[in-house]
Amino acid sequence: MNGTAKVTVCGEVDVATAPPLEDLLIGTMNGPSSTIEVDLGDVSFMDVSGLTALIRADDRARDVGAHLYLSRVPERVARLLRIFDLDHRFSILA
Residues of the chain with pLDDT under 50: 1
In the chain, the domains with their CATH numbers are 4-93 (3.30.750.24)
Output the pLDDT for position 4: 87
Measure Cα distances from 80 to 6, 25, 26, 34, 59 in Å: 22, 20, 22, 27, 19
Output the pLDDT for position 30: 80
Output the pLDDT for position 2: 60
pTM of the complete model:
0.91
pLDDT digits (tens, 9 = 90+) for 27-48: 998 876 789 999 999 999 999 9
